[in-house]
Structure 1
Amino acid sequence: MTRNIATFCVLCAGLAGNVHAALPGYAAPQLQARTNLIVNDNGYNLPPGASFNSITADIDDSGRVAFPVQIVPDGADSRPGVWFGAGGTGSIVFTGPVDALISASLRLNNSGLAVFLLSDTGGADGIYRYDHAAAAAARVATPPVFPNTYSAPGINAAGQIGFQANFSAGRAYASVAAGTAAFHATDKGLDPGSSFTYLYTPSFDDSRALVAKVATSPDFTSATEIRRFASDGSSTRLVADRGSDANSPIARFDNSLALSDNGRIAFIATRFADNRRVVYRYDGVELREIAAVDPAGLIRELEFFPPSINDDGLVAFRARDADGQAIYVGDGDNLRRVVGKGDRLATDLGLGQVGQHNADAVFSGAPALNNRGDLVFIAALHPDGQSQVEWGSGVFVAAVAADALFADGFEVNR
């Protein structure tokens, strides 16, 4: 049958305010690259035998996409790589040392700079920055911050890089600009005078701020909050759970969050009133529900992946509805289903469907939005109507349709 995504656009009753004027409509998703087992086929826009798994891609405001590729064949060996492209074309633009490991996600800014992690390099582990204009990547120096390992690097419009620094005694948040790094926060393991017992995965914005869930309780979980940390070491509480604020509507936060370039945040948390999981947005003034789980309603489950948010406050997230796994976008008033299990998508091999041969997840990693509202996602594929045939996983972009803003959306054939 033909499914019109407009049938999934519902009013979230009881929610006030509006950041995004209306939900965008989307053109049919376009395949950027596809990986498959070499015994099945050579894949698409990737070297034969190249492979990625459980990764997250990123997209800039002009629609360029970048993502990590764990295996790029090199004779009898393999290397990690970075793919870069747009509009259905692209290629591997960087490869690391033989048998090194690359992070499962990377971050891309609008200048064509991408940051990611390499490890097991034989002495050159750390944060790497790929410059598309120069067609080269280099390790990022972070003096005077020299952790044992790095995690969660992000890059902003100015080319500054924020990250989590992991030491044997504890964790810190830091950023580097003009070749010099600054600490934003440390936990009690590094500084006994710190208020924070544990620092969770941060995100980085254009103001050179790191925003993250942090714990203040000895058990790391019963009292947590989301804070913004500036490069001068100051911080501001944005949202707290019940363990930190007796009036909070939130029982507990998921560990990761999304941060827009202009400082808005989106996160998934458990609502105190009824113990249901909710996608929230906070813009510095208003805490707003984007979507809430209702076992008999539209959103049956929220998956344990962070959402994505853009400067307009549009939020994308992974969920399950009555038909299975799906990716939704919401603005606080309405929700739109962009793609889900069973949907038909055009591929290089012909008409395919989003799905697996079994009950495994059909999406990989987290979806990502740019400031136009374009969405990049990774989906498992099989031929139309043939779930037992393996077509691997494809990276797709669902672009906002120029003539579909405020419209009903695109149709997905099923």
Structure 2
Amino acid sequence: MRFSLFQALLCGGVLCALPSRAELPTYTLQLQARANLSGNPSGAFNLEPDNLLPGSYRVPLAQDRQLAFRLSYTPEGRRALWWGQDGVGQRIYLLPDLGEDVLAGDPDLNAAGDLAFSVSNGTRDNGIYLLNAQRPDQVRILKEPYGVTSWSSVALNEVGQLAFRATFSSSGQAYVMLSPSGSNFTTEYFAREQKLDSSSPFTYLYSPGFNDQGQIAGVGDVGDPGAGFQELHIWSSGGGSRRIAVTQALDATSPIFKMASVQPALSNSGKVAFLGTAKSATGSNLTSLWLWDGAELRLLAQNGRGEIKEVEIFPPDINDSGVVVFRAFDSAGLRAVWVSDGEVTRRVATEHDLVPSDLGEARLDQEKPSVPVFGGSPTINARGDVTFVAGLAPPDNDQEEWGTAIFVARSSLPEPDGGTGDTDGGPAPDGGPGDVDGGTEPDGGPGDVDGGPGDIDGGPAPDAGSDIPDAGSEEDAGSDAPDGGEADGGGTPGTPGTGADAGQPPGEEPGDVSPLPEPSPSGCGCQSADAGALWPWMLVGLAWLIEGRRRGARRA
């Protein structure tokens, strides 16, 4: 076999030294369900009319494209759970009649079809509800650990572990993980607030992220709550944590003025995507999306950078390839769902896009420009598929209501072998947990902006209300009002950075995080390389040139 010079350089490992990057997929949209009011002649899809989503939500997605979401209003007047896959699905569980004050969190699920969500209503029915999509009538309620009054940001991983932020009757909060042990669960505390542990540095803990390695990522105040003294840590099972970012109040060299109150996203490889604010040269707050890649902070998106006009304050999500999904306005002022790997930023869906639906071609639209088109937080799975929720209308008439659509943007990439969500990666125990309630929904805090003009009642949504210390520790702190076609519970973000925690960003850990480089004109947030790192590319370019000349000579 003959090898060209270019092939020889490749085989010789010249490119092996180059930094790898995730491949961004292209997307094909698939409608999973469509919720609508019974008074609208367009009807509903995979749902009976008057089964409505809450004002804001998170729709978790397994690697095999299973997904689930909660219904905050049903014809029966009770909360419910929907589950499906590949364009089909149905309501599989109707909660008992727990009273009007019941607060139900978003479900999380894993590849085994296990689902978990929290219920808080101040009665004995409180707890984390566990069930399986194939056996939805077999429900187990966990109330661990002792003394907990509410469970927020409930997450379920592929090995059946549950993580959440627990609120105790003493008003203190803690990060807790429950691990399957026979027919029971063992309890492990990762971090506590000072109200629970006087030796703790944390005065307030915000909503955490969780991964399949049994790790938790979270932001904590280490001074007066809301004053901007914040740290971002990754905790591992068995004890110990790594501080990966701090705010400028703790380190003046940090690029992060303040961290957002919405939860960070944590991959199995230890990458963390999170929102916050940076200060511009004129002192204004810039909502920003950062990625901790295991060695340094990288800026993925920021107000006024590249195609992004304004980053919306909804929790991002990340997969093991380091691809991050988030919401932001584009330069034309249109809302959009985006993915980024730190090098390239690509749209998944944009306001006014024409999309497929059960009624034929439709448009992502609302009857009023002020009403948000998208609802809640998008999520991403291991292969890069993305879930999002949006208002739907006919392609030529935005005044006609086609309800709220739940889409899976199907990735063009092949299914990865192993990894997060892989069914060979160890199914969760029967009846075990599912994925997050906590997820990507803003859990509250200054800076959370769910509850704007798209909510039916205009109020905040579960786990998306205020996370202001001592003002939003309850699961579902806010209204669970239904969304009957007005897609967003996310509402429009307020002026970035003006709230107590309005998307303020995290800072860097001295010695652990290298300084953030100046933004590139493209807004990609790329790190610059020194000249020595460019020589492999020069050799490859030379190889292409020589090989091209050889081919030209042969053709001559």
TM-score by length of 1: 0.87
| Residue 355 of structure 2 corresponds to residue 345 of structure 1 | yes
Cα deviation per residue 1:74-108 (whole Å; 9 max; x = unaligned)? 3xxx2211111111100011111125545352222
- Going from structure 1 to structure 2, the CA distance change for 1:298 and 1:144 (only over 3 Å counts) comes to closer
Q: Larger relative CO (CA 8 A, sep 6+): 1 or 2?
A: 2
Task: Point out the structure with the larger helix share.
Answer: 2
Q: Using the TM superposition, give the Cα deviation of residue 261 of structure 1 relative to its aligned residue in structure 2, in angstroms.
A: 3.2
| Amino acid paired to 2:391 | A
Contact 1:144 1:180 in 2 (8 A): no
With over 3 angstroms needed to count, the CA separation of the structure-2 counterparts of 1:128 and 1:262, relative to structure 1, is farther
* Structure showing greater Rg: 2
Deviation for aligned residue 1:241: 1.2
Gaps of 5+ in 2: 1-17, 415-556
For the 8 Å contact 2:303–2:309, the answer to whether it is kept is: yes
Moved more, 120-129 or 53-62: 120-129
Matched, 1:280 2:312: no
Superposition pairs for residues 154-193 of structure 1, below 5 Å? 154-167=155-168, 168-178=170-180, 179-193=185-199
Query: Could you say which residue in structure 1 is the equivalent of 2:436?
Result: none
Could you tell me whether the CA contact under 8 Å between 1:172 and 1:186 is conserved in 2? yes
Q: Deviations over 1:54-76 (max 9, x none)?
A: 221110001111111112323xx
1:64 is aligned with what amino acid?
Q
1:18–1:332 CA contact under 8 A, matched in 2: no
1:340 is aligned with what amino acid? T
Matching residue of 2:479: none
Whether the 8 Å CA contact 1:70–1:102 is kept in 2: the answer is no
Structure 1 gap segments, 5+ residues each: 1-16, 404-414
User: Is 2:148–2:167's contact at 8 Å kept on the other side of the alignment?
Assistant: yes
* CA distance in 2 between partners of 1:226 and 1:319 (Å): 23
User: Matched residue of 1:105: which SS?
Assistant: coil
SS of aligned partner of 1:148: strand
Equivalent residue for 1:257? 264
Quickly say closer, same or farther: Cα 1:172–1:121, change in 2 above 3 A: closer
- Structure 2 counterpart of 1:372, one-letter code: R
Cα distance, 1:143 vs structure 2 = 3.9
Q: Which amino acid aligns with 2:206?
A: Y
Task: Using the TM superposition, give the Cα deviation of residue 19 of structure 1 relative to its aligned residue in structure 2, in angstroms.
Answer: 5.1
**CA contact under 8 A between 2:163 and 2:175: conserved in structure 1?**
yes
1:84 aligns to what?
83
Q: How does 1:394-409 map to 2 (within 5 A)?
A: 394-402=405-413
- In structure 2, the CA distance between the partners of 1:145 and 1:32, relative to structure 1 (3 Å rule), is same
Matched, 1:357 2:363: no
Structure 1 residues 289-308: aligned runs within 5 Å: 289-294=299-304, 297-308=306-317
Give the deviation of 1:244 after TM superposition: 2.0
Q: Between Structure 1 and Structure 2, which shows a larger proportion of strand residues?
A: 1
Contact 2:128 2:143 in 1 (8 A): no
Match of residue 397 from structure 2: 386
| 2-structure distance, mates of 1:72, 1:260 | 34
Distance 1:328 1:137, change over 3 A: farther
Work out whether residues 67 and 83 of structure 2, in 8 Å CA contact, stay in contact via their aligned partners in 1: yes
1:315 pairs with 2:315: no
Check the 8 A contact 1:145/1:181 in 2, yes or no.
Answer: no
In the TM superposition, what is the alpha-carbon distance from 1:145 to its structure 2 partner? 3.5
Distance across 1 between alignment mates of 2:391 and 2:19: 34
| Counterparts of residues 56-75 of structure 1 (less than 5 Å) | 56-74=58-76
What is the TM-score of this pair, normalised by structure 2? 0.66
Aligned residue in 1 for 2:386: 375
Map of 2:208 onto structure 1: 202
Measured after TM superposition, the shift of residue 39 of structure 1 is 0.6
Aligned residues: 383
**Following superposition, which runs of at least 4 residues in structure 1 exceed 6 angstroms of deviation?**
none
Assess if the C-alpha contact under 8 Å between 1:249 and 1:273 holds in 2: no
> How far did residue 231 of structure 1 move?
3.6
- CA shift at 1:221, angstroms? 3.2
1:264 alignment partner AA: K
Cα drift, residue 257 of structure 1 = 1.3
Deviation at 1:18, TM superposition (A): 5.5
- Cα distance in 2 between the residues matched to 1:314 and 1:396: 19
Cα distance in structure 2, aligned partners of 1:367 and 1:237 = 27
Change (3 A) 1:251 1:146: same
Q: Separation in 2 of the partners of 1:332 and 1:72?
A: 41
- Aligned CA-pair RMSD: 2.0
The aligned counterpart of 1:30 is: 30
Give the letter aligned to residue 37 of structure 2.
L
8 Å CA contact 2:268–2:320 kept in 1: the answer is yes
Distance 2:151 2:413 in 1: 40
Aligned residue for 1:357, secondary structure, equals coil
What is the deviation of 1:134? 2.9
Name the counterpart of 1:96.
95
Which of 219, 224, 244 is matched with 1:218 structurally? Answer: 224
